[in-house]
């Protein structure tokens, strides 16, 4: 190990920049994360890559919601919230 290192040419920030990607923090249920990690290990792929692929697939197949569907989703969520509060 050297006594001194010249860091004058060093740059701050990420060591590897990923164009087209953004680092975020996200909370996932433990069982969901475990399932993605298990599948990723079986497929020899990173679990974050697998989650990204799943999200892309979901976005590609998602149909826009109409007013009735939105109302139904909100109604069900409100009923579930009221039931858990009771």
Q: What is the pLDDT of residues 69-85, one digit of tens each?
A: 889 988 888 888 777 76
Asked whether 48 and 54 are in contact (CB, 8 A), the reply is: no
Q: Which residue has the tokens 């079986």?
A: 42
- Can you give the residue range of the structural domain that contains 54? 27-62
Q: In angstroms, rounded to a whole number, what is the distance separating the alpha carbons of residues 36 and 59? A: 18
- pLDDT top residue among 39 and 1: 39
Predicted TM-score (pTM) of the model is 0.56
Q: Identify whether 42 is part of a domain.
A: yes
Q: Identify whether 44 is part of a domain.
A: yes
Q: Identify whether 22 is part of a domain.
A: no
Q: Identify whether 34 is part of a domain.
A: yes
Domain count, the chain: 1
Q: What is the pLDDT of residues 24-73, one digit of tens each?
A: 899 999 999 999 999 999 999 999 999 999 999 888 887 888 899 889 98
Q: Identify whether 12 is part of a domain.
A: no
């Amino acid at each position: 190990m050297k006594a001194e290192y010249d860091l004058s040419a060093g740059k701050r920030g990420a060591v590897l920049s990923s164009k087209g990607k953004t680092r975020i923090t996200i909370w996932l249920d433990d069982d969901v994360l475990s399932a993605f990690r298990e599948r990723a290990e079986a497929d020899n792929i990173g679990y974050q890559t697998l989650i990204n692929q799943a999200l892309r697939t979901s976005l590609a197949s998602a149909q826009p919601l109409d007013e009735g569907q939105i109302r139904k989703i909100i109604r069900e969520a409100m009923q579930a919230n009221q039931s858990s509060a009771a």
